[in-house]
A and B are shown apart, each in its own frame.
Chain A
Amino acid sequence: AQSVSQHNHHVILSEAASLELGCNYSYGGTVNLFWYVQYPGQHLQLLLKYFSGDPLVKGIKGFEAEFIKSKFSFNLRKPSVQWSDTAEYFCAVNPLVKAAGNKLTFGGGTRVLVKP
């Protein structure tokens, strides 16, 4: 079965610092990849997605992620964070297998705290 690993459980940084969150998955086939953000007490919102094409994808709020197939990685980045980026971030994978539908396997999440 596929799994998704997020390397950092907690990240604390100051405003204007750069952010990079690691995500690795274990699945040998073709996948769709996602990053979701969950602000305190809210539902998950899609930050960005990768289906095919350019491995560098840009999402909302200045986030981007790079798919490196050889490393089975899909790391999330933001050059300069703001206090409002304080949230929990989840990487998710959907293997392109018909039986899986759009079923997502999530990483454990990374809690990001941005200090003003």
Chain B
Amino acid sequence: NAGVMQNPRHLVRRRGQEARLRCSPMKGHSHVYWYRQLPEEGLKFMVYLQKENIIDESGMPKERFSAEFPKEGPSILRIQQVVRGDSAAYFCASSPPGGGISNQPQHFGDGTRLSIL
């Protein structure tokens, strides 16, 4: 009974490179959420996706960040031209379908810790 799977667990990039973070939701879950946890801070919502749709991206930085959740395969959070300030833990969570409102808590992955050199 696999939970939310994120990979890689740790990712090191140099400034200017691209970072791709992957998230496979729990079986049966079709809603994916990405959160960012900066050092010494709480989690901040970034984006909410369903299959092939971005539902809410109000927490995404306007530039360099994008997310997708294709019909097949994992959800991808992509950061282009990374900068030092992108260093953080990125957590993915999933929840079951429910018309957008579901009395089901989100299940979190182990996160990807991104370090920018």
Contact = CB atoms under 8 A, between A and B. Distances in A.
B33 A103 contact: yes
Interface residue tally of chain A, by bracket?
Answer: 20 to 34
Interface in A91-116: 96-109
Nearest to A101: B100
Contact of A46 (B43, B55, B105, B109): B105
A42 B109 CA distance: 9
A102 B31 contact: yes
B81 interface: no
Most chain B beta-carbon contacts within 10 A, residue among A32, A42, A44, A100: A44
A96 B104 CA distance: 12
Contact of B109 (A34, A36, A43, A51): A43
A92 to B, nearest CB: 8
B82 to A, nearest CB: 23
Contacts of A96: 101
A104 B56 contact: no
Contacts of B102: 102
B1 interface: no
Contact of A43 (B41, B91, B104): B91
Interface in A6-65: 6, 32, 34, 36, 42-46, 49, 51
Interface in B19-42: 31, 33, 35, 41-42
A32 B98 CA distance: 15
